[in-house]
Amino acid sequence: MRFSYTFKVDRPSELIKLLLYKSQMLNYISVLDSNTKSNQTSLPVDYINYDLIAGVDALEVLNVDSDSFIALQNFYNKHNDWLFGYLSYDLKNEVEQLTSNNDDGIKANSLSFFIPRYVLLLKGNTLEIQSYESKGDCQQFLAYQQLNWNDDSNAIQLKQRDTKAKYLEKIGVIKKHIQRGDIYEVNYCQEFFSEQVILNPQQVFLELNTNAQTPFASFLKLNDLHIMCASPERFIRKSGNRIISQPIKGTRKRGRNLAEDKILIKEFIESEKEISENVMIVDLVRNDLSITASKASVNVKELCGIYTFKKVHQMISTISSKVDDKINVIQILKSIFPMGSMTGVPKLRAMELIEQLEEFKRGIFSGAIGYITPKGDFDFNVVIRTILYNASTKYLSVAVGGAITIKSNANEEYEECLIKVRPIFEVLNFQCDEK
């Protein structure tokens, strides 16, 4: 049983810097930042669990590539402890009869979780640490140090797997499938990548998090694998017997001032295309949640709400359900995976087309990062607006996409992709060749 210790933190904003600094000496760490202090995150506070939550150092590790959900359930049942980690998009192959055969630069496991030595839960100026260690050990861990980054980074030049011309062509193919009635909507993604990259992931994440300030930001280090995520989207949260999912469909750039923002938001709200994209995914999520939901408990709490972040406006819906106490925790995750916002409608056919048309293995991208508690609660984001980096192979990947419907304009979809990924390009000092 873990001990619980409470500390007052004079400088909460410095805690994430301290954790990132210490992560340079650790093999496993997960830091999840809600950016509640930024004043740039308009997500309702009712849906924010902690200002920051972190799992630090690993007592036990689970890395699997087959029978992953069973392995995760067995691991959870055996230890009944906190778990931090990720679910990759390619777990789809264990949910449905699908395959993943595209280029895989990152080469990550299908699923990876670890039991942390320390669990840090920050709310305001109050920090709770749950650990098997003594209070003195926890205090020593928190001891402030002057940050000295190991920075041997080299210049990064990203390549595109899809040229703009090829991207436009692919959108045309998708729309023909829609016209034939194969699908109604599909999330098509493209990869920007670089090889032989030397990077300081901690410093890059700190800059990215400052630049984007999103409510589901995360830094995950699993040995040589580094994930620097500035996600605005929650996949699924369980609190007691209540489930919520908050898919995003619809993105608009920020204006140069408040007046321009108001105009852009008004256009956003009145966009039939954006609303139809969002509603289709809401219907899909309702169906997914109903698999494990108590009778008549699936509800749309908010439809097509507009939320403003530092760099973009997003259209977010919130769907809730209630589950019976007897429902298996991991089964809930499996029943809704992968998330509808990153696949399409109908989900199975959309995933088949994604595999056929995309030219990279998504892996962790469009998967989920989060945690599971000993009580069976959990919270996972959607891995978008993310830099993936394998320090062993020196491969770096940035993927981005969007929902394609019959009303999609291919050029506008391409521009929307660049809007989404702009904070990452700014941090990497990369100028995209839009040709």
Q: Annotated active-site positions, please?
A: 233, 249
Amino acid at 113: F
Distance between CA atoms of residues 11 and 18, nearest Å: 11
Of 419, 420, 407, nearest to 277 by C-alpha is 407
Name the helix (H) or strand (E) containing 261.
Answer: helix 258-269
Distance between CA atoms of residues 191 and 242, nearest Å: 35
DSSP states along 9-60: -S-HHHHHHHHHHHHTT-SEEEEEE--TTSS---S-GGG---SEEEEEEEEE
Q: Using CA atoms in the order 58, 61, 65, 68, what is the torsion angle rounded to 10 degrees? A: -110
SS3 398: strand
* DSSP annotation of 312: E
Residues in the chain: 435
Distance between CA atoms of residues 396 and 394, nearest Å: 7
> Where does 88-232 show beta strands of DSSP type E?
111-123, 126-131, 159-160, 185-194, 216-222, 225-231
Of 195, 303, 309, 234, nearest to 47 by C-alpha is 234
Q: Which residue has tokens 């060749």?
A: 433
Distance between CA atoms of residues 171 and 353, nearest Å: 12
* DSSP annotation of 303: E
* Helices and strands (DSSP H and E) totals, the chain: 11, 20
Distance of CA 168 to the CA centre of its chain: 26
Centre a 10 Å sphere on the Cβ of residue 45 and count the other Cβ atoms it contains: 8
Distance between CA atoms of residues 360 and 191, nearest Å: 7
Strands 378-381 and 248-253, by their bridges, are unpaired
Q: Which residue has tokens 């069976």?
A: 376
Distance between CA atoms of residues 425 and 405, nearest Å: 27
